[in-house]
């Protein structure tokens, strides 16, 4: 199974979190995962993917304009309908709007026919409702959270695609 993580990043924090998610995903047997900045996508891998995760830094309590444009206009070539999707966000300040960022991405993905993943409390601690959030500047402190999310997402994607 292939999983693509799409992200936009300004300071490399979101890129780092995307890689942590991939690291968690690849601990699950049978999963191949790769992360791509939305400006540098391996089209062949992405089109062959069975599930997708989307990440954005938080700007003005929402996803970047580039990520929003990508979701609305540049994703028509990908087979999203009926597939599992997850979201994550990064922000500079606690309560900086990351939940809103993730919800805006999720609602757009729902319109594209995707199923939105939320493990909620079903996996135990740490509880991750919408998706993981990194608060700068200490990106390393969030490594375990994002790795766990990646592993959980991959396990659910395997269940959904059987």
Residue spans of the domains in the chain: they are 2-160
Q: Residue 131 and residue 152: Cα distance in Å, rounded?
A: 11
Q: Are 5 and 26 in contact (CB under 8 A)?
A: no
Q: Which residues of the chain have pLDDT under 50?
A: none
Q: Which two tokens stand for residue 58?
A: 């938080």
- As assigned by CATH, the class of the 2-160 domain is alpha beta
pLDDT at 79: 83
2-36 per-position pLDDT tens digit = 999 999 999 999 999 999 999 999 999 999 999 99
pLDDT of residue 137: 82
pLDDT score for 67: 97
Please report the DSSP string for 132-150 in residue order.
-EEETT-GGGGHHHHHHHH
pLDDT for the residue numbered 52: 97
Query: Which pLDDT belongs to residue 161?
Result: 86
User: What is the pTM (predicted TM-score) of this model?
Assistant: 0.96
Neighbours of 102 (CB within 10 A): 27
Owner of token pair 């999310």: 149
Which pLDDT score, from 0 to 100, does residue 151 have? 97
């Amino acid at each position: 199974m292939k999983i693509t993580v799409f992200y936009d990043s300004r300071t490399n924090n979101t890129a780092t979190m995307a890689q942590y998610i991939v690291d968690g995903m690849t601990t699950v047997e049978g999963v191949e995962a790769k992360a791509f900045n939305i400006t540098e996508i391996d089209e062949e891998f992405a089109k062959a993917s069975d599930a997708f995760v989307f990440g954005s830094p938080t700007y003005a309590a929402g996803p970047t304009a580039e990520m929003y444009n990508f979701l609305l206009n540049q994703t028509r070539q990908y087979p999203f309908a009926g597939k599992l999707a997850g979201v994550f966000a990064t922000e500079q300040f606690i309560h900086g709007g990351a939940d809103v960022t993730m919800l805006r991405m999720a609602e757009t993905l729902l319109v594209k026919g995707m199923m939105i993943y939320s493990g909620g409390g079903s996996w135990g601690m740490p509880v991750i409702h919408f998706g993981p959030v990194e608060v700068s500047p200490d990106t390393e402190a969030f490594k375990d959270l994002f790795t766990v999310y990646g592993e959980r997402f991959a396990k659910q994607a395997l269940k959904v695609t059987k």
